[in-house]
Amino acid sequence: MRLDKYLADAGAYTRKQAQALVRAGRVLVAGAVVKNPAQMVSDGHQVLVDGQIILRDAQLYLMMHKPAGVLTAARDRNAPTVSAYLPPLYLKRGASPVGRLDKDVTGLLIFTTDGELNHRLTSPKRGVDKTYLASVDGVLAESDVLAFEKGLDLGDFTARPATLEILQLSQARVTVCEGKYHQVKRMFEAIGKPVITLKRLSMGGVLLDETLLPGQTRPLTADEIATLRQSAQMEEP
């Protein structure tokens, strides 16, 4: 089949994006640069984009810079969802979000078709780290850092020890190893400093690509996928 169709069928790019990548000399077929999108290839050829192997039957691993005001859901009658921002070719392949971000929370949201990885990354037993940038109503103090380190009683459960790094008077970076409903917000409420804005910076060692504008998505690199698998305690294939 045509090279641009091969890349599009792999679910990583649209046909137009694939053609631009090929013409830019960023695609190798069987070790040679190919600049003609109409070049014929087969599943027996090794196809690489920027050094990353592209397989048509491979699992999808993506990151989105989630915008505010968007639900982490497939569809909703009353509000926009992340599905509206996910390119149709990814939806067609069945990419699902790894965990959820509240409607008003922005930042890193990972999608994958790899059900086992999705389950492991969201399982409380695995203790996968998630880091957020929080702006709060109030002045943060060293006593808050200690409270997070100790673990906060939230009524229905006690949050595990977390790391709170104060960046400014009312801004901090917080890392938790669990992700229960509204947990980060509830932790700040427990110390009397409710969250004003919250942005996820990383998950399982994978950092948000800050070059992505809110609503944009890109495939994860091979290194990022390996980092996630390591965080999820999965053996490399």
Q: What is the pLDDT of residues 149-187, one digit of tens each?
A: 999 999 888 999 999 999 999 999 999 998 788 899 999
Please choose, from the candidates 235, 224, 237, 236, the residue with its C-alpha nearest in 3D space to the C-alpha of residue 98.
224
Q: Are 208 and 54 in contact (CB under 8 A)?
A: no
Whole-number Cα distances in Å, 92 to 86, 96, 126, 189 = 10, 11, 29, 40
| Predicted pLDDT at 64 | 96
Task: Report which DSSP code applies to 137.
Answer: S
32-33 vs 47-49, strand pairing mode = unpaired
Q: How confident is the model at residue 1 (pLDDT cuts 50, 70, 90)?
A: confident
This model's pTM is above 0.75? yes
- C-alpha distance across the termini of the chain, in Å: 28
Q: Which of 102, 129, 144, 153 is catalytic?
A: 102
Task: Report which DSSP code applies to 78.
Answer: S
Domains and CATH numbers, the chain: 3-53 (3.10.290.10), 61-124+208-231 (3.30.70.580), 129-203 (3.30.70.1560)
Residue type, 33: V
Q: Are 233 and 138 in contact (CB under 8 A)?
A: no
Other beta carbons within 10 angstroms of residue 19's beta carbon come to 20
pLDDT at 13 over 80: no
Other beta carbons within 10 angstroms of residue 34's beta carbon come to 19
Q: Are 153 and 130 in contact (CB under 8 A)?
A: no
Other beta carbons within 10 angstroms of residue 58's beta carbon come to 14
Q: Is 76 a catalytic residue?
A: no
Please choose, from the candidates 148, 144, 172, the residue with its C-alpha nearest in 3D space to the C-alpha of residue 159.
148
Tokens at residue 209, please?
A: 């690509």
Tokens at residue 214, please?
A: 């809110």
- Element containing residue 148 per DSSP (H, E): helix 142-150
| Angle 168-174-179 from CA coordinates, rounded to 5° | 150
Other beta carbons within 10 angstroms of residue 7's beta carbon come to 25
How do residues 97-156 score in pLDDT, each as one tens digit? Answer: 999 999 999 999 999 998 999 999 998 888 899 999 999 999 999 999 999 999 999 988
| Predicted pLDDT at 57 | 61
pLDDT at 91 over 90: no
Q: Would you put residue 74 in left (φ > 0), alpha (ψ -120 to 50) or beta?
A: alpha
pLDDT at 84 over 80: yes
| Predicted pLDDT at 237 | 44
| Predicted pLDDT at 221 | 86
How do residues 23-46 score in pLDDT, each as one tens digit? Answer: 999 999 988 999 999 999 876 788
